Amino acid sequence: MDASFATGIAGLVVLLTLIAIRVPIAYTMILVGVVGTSLQSGPSIVLYQLKDLAYAQFSIYDLSVLPMFILMGGLASRCGLSRDLFRAANAWLGRFNGGVAMAAVAACGGFGAVCGSSTATASTMGQVALPELRRYRYSPALATGTIAAGGTLGILIPPSVVLIVYAIIVEANVVTLFAAALLPGILAVIMFLLTVAIYVRVAPGAGPRGEPVSRGEFVSATVAVFPVFVIFAIVVGGIYGGLYNPTPAGAIGVFLVAIYGFARRRLSIRDSIEALLETARTSGMIFLILLGAALLSIFMSRAGVPQAVAELLQGSGLGPFAILALVIVIFIVLGMLMDSLSMIILAIPFFWPVIVDLDFGMPVDDLKIWFGIVALIVVELGLITPPVGLNVFIINAQAPDIPMRQTFKGVMPFFASEIVRVVLLVAFPAVSLWLPHLLRG
């Protein structure tokens, strides 16, 4: 083991240690990248890299879509779309056993279509659905577990901020990935609904029926949610149809959500300013993480760590799917330590070179799509995996009287459902590849 490789391994240990003690991931990667490269090649090399690196990272045109979709989600969460979605879903599903929890899942899926963030989806739907679940005396585990798990739908159903970042890292087409995510996203909603149905059948008292609504309320609730479908159709449908690329689509989405909010008098100038500030903070955080990832990547590449990982896995004698299963397990473990975006930015540069060299029987462009969707679903798992489970912490903050162990108990059936979905997508790549192939012509 030469000195450079030993430095790389030491840097990796320091990186994981700092992440485990909750040092922000951006600062951790910048620190390890700068110090490691300085030890390898001297501080002058780091200064030379920084001269052009930040501009090279932040001037990528595809990154311009991130603030647009983040702002669209911020405005959507402030203008009552989540309440409309839950009201409509409850009108359709509430009369069944576990129906209010099913309505929360369906509303999470709908809100994810205009938000793109799992934490925002969980936080917003928690404020809307949790009081109703309490009112109908749902078990604490099912009530909080449903919303925490439902929030994970925000990063899979297009538009997805995490999927955009993945596309940039592996140099994939964002539009194609959005298309690939649609069917797995719908499958996730269906499987979560089935999970709730099975849950209340096994534990009948956990999810009582809601009150049936009148015909007038049913029609009113259904009509009220129509703008959400219109916005989704214009934004995502326009992308799929080739009318515009994702950046102008995001801008159109911001415009439509803002018009809807002001027209219904649900959005104020103050709300808009808050959404803009939130967008600036979130975008700045993402850009800083990307800069840290670039610095870390330079350090690790110089040390030969990614190459060593690739050689180790390829020389292990394991088949392609066994190596993929090992990567998935590593992703789940990382999900216990960090948020979804950080995990994608940190882990994909290590594992994509390994995956692309394996023989899965498909072209590289299809492999980028298929692996990206599988990775994204595993990232969803990290949001509800103990001991971190970021969505669980968000819901626990809204229901501090419910012990966190109850919420983790409630998300376990959904965790099992996600494992089944991963197996299905690995076994049948066509689930994520059919729509992209159809759009190609």
Q: What is the per-residue pLDDT across 390-413, written as a single tens digit (0 to 9) for each?
A: 888 889 888 889 998 999 999 999
CA distance 182 to 364: 20
Contact present, 127 and 111 (Cβ < 8 Å): no
Of the CA atoms within 13 Å of residue 87, those in its CB half-sphere come to 17
Residue 347 has what pLDDT?
A: 86
Mean pLDDT score, 308-328? 84
Share of the chain above pLDDT 70, in %: 99
Q: Residue 406 burial by CB count (10 A; 0-12/13-18/19+): exposed, middle or buried? A: middle
Residue 113 has what pLDDT?
A: 83
Lowest-pLDDT choice from 140-149, 175-184, 208-217: 208-217
Lowest-pLDDT choice from 206-215, 254-263, 427-436: 206-215
Closest CA to 406 of 130, 140, 165, 117: 140
pLDDT confidence band for 49 (50 / 70 / 90):
confident
> How many folded domains does the chain comprise?
1
pLDDT confidence band for 176 (50 / 70 / 90):
very high
How far is CA 154 from each of CA 150, 163, 438, rounded to the nearest angstrom? 8, 11, 24
Contacts of 362 (CB under 8 A, 6+ apart): 370, 429, 433
Average pLDDT, the chain: 88
Amino acid at 208: P
Residue 441 has what pLDDT?
A: 64
Mean pLDDT score, 94-113? 91
Amino acid at 327: V
Residue 1 has pLDDT above 80, yes or no: no
159 prior amide bond cis, ω within 30: yes
Residue 344 has pLDDT above 90, yes or no: no
For 254, the domain range is: 3-440
Residue 337 has pLDDT above 80, yes or no: no
Mean pLDDT score, 371-376? 93
